[in-house]
Structure 1
């Protein structure tokens, strides 16, 4: 069982973050546009917990379509994850709906990424939500997601840049930004 464990931060000063990453030898990739459609199990709403619930995502990036299933274990950013490439986004959308999921939020972002040792670093400019940085590691199912998140948080804080930790996933952040107060 593979888990994707991440921590996410709102970035207030992007040039300072880029400089701090560069000092660590982190060279971010060229920007890539990601167009994600998020899905939830029928019956689930944003008022419910995400723990133990299966979510799907259909992503298009540079002409490739990726289908992903995530199930949060410890929290919304410590997930069991399975991912595969699919040939036809529209047909996969219909298959996901036929499997008992409903579309929730569309997330469009520009991502630049790099590796810092065994940690993936992603700087995301998310439409409607702002600029974020994620630190992510893939681990086996026996490791504690919360413990790995503590390690990732220490790494993020060691950069010496002002970062505001976000505990919500992008779908929740975009939904909140688009929901009238």
Structure 2
């Protein structure tokens, strides 16, 4: 399966929550996600991400998830594989042994909901601010770009000011660190 998403920076998180509630969307309580992003050792920021596998170790509520994403259409339309791992440190060592290097740490508070068959994530990312993501799972024969346009229309139909970004959180954090 492909995971396809669109991401937006929020100026008014409360307005988004209210607009979602008006559409019957109930958001979960916030959970803390502590993510370590990894890239192949030969890859550098500024290089294309298309076709390159990237890894993530996430800890949430004492549970560790290992994820690999490989962008297909763009950075936000990826083949994705995910599984629970028992030991985060051992998985970190395995990733480094396989030629992956840690890039950035992403810590966020996430609330989730569903609307019209779409997964929504309302994120407060340390060092970046508030974002909303809309995500859909599609078959490998579907166009990620076409689904992104549908998701964009859905988010914009809320009538809340948002600024779309095509960068992933790791790239946004890396840019913020370089600028500051």
Bin for the TM-score computed over the shorter chain: over 0.9
User: What is the aligned partner in structure 2 of residue 78 from structure 1?
Assistant: 77
Matched, 1:131 2:130: yes
User: What is the aligned partner in structure 2 of residue 28 from structure 1?
Assistant: 27
Q: Which whole-Å CA distance do the structure 1 matches of 2:65 and 2:178 have between them? A: 27
User: What is the aligned partner in structure 2 of residue 50 from structure 1?
Assistant: 49
SS at match of 2:94: helix
User: What is the aligned partner in structure 1 of residue 121 from structure 2?
Assistant: 122
Shift of 1:117: 2.7
Number of positions where the alignment pairs a residue of Structure 1 with one of Structure 2: 180
Shift of 1:180: 3.8
User: What is the aligned partner in structure 2 of residue 153 from structure 1?
Assistant: 152
Matched, 1:143 2:142: yes
**Mapping of 1:70-109 within 5 angstroms?**
70-109=69-108
Q: Which whole-Å CA distance do the structure 2 matches of 1:44 and 1:17 have between them? A: 36
Q: Which whole-Å CA distance do the structure 1 matches of 2:46 and 2:165 have between them? A: 18
Matched, 1:4 2:13: no
Shift of 1:179: 1.8
SS at match of 2:50: coil
Q: Which whole-Å CA distance do the structure 1 matches of 2:105 and 2:149 have between them? A: 29
Cα RMSD over matched residues? 0.7
Shift of 1:39: 0.2
Q: Which whole-Å CA distance do the structure 2 matches of 1:9 and 1:139 have between them? A: 21
SS at match of 2:151: helix
Alignment TM-score, normalising by the size of structure 2: 0.98
Shift of 1:47: 1.6
Q: Deviation string for 1:139-158 (max 9, x for gaps)?
A: 11011000000000000010
Q: Which whole-Å CA distance do the structure 1 matches of 2:41 and 2:72 have between them? A: 19
Matched, 1:164 2:163: yes
Alignment TM-score, normalising by the size of structure 1: 0.98
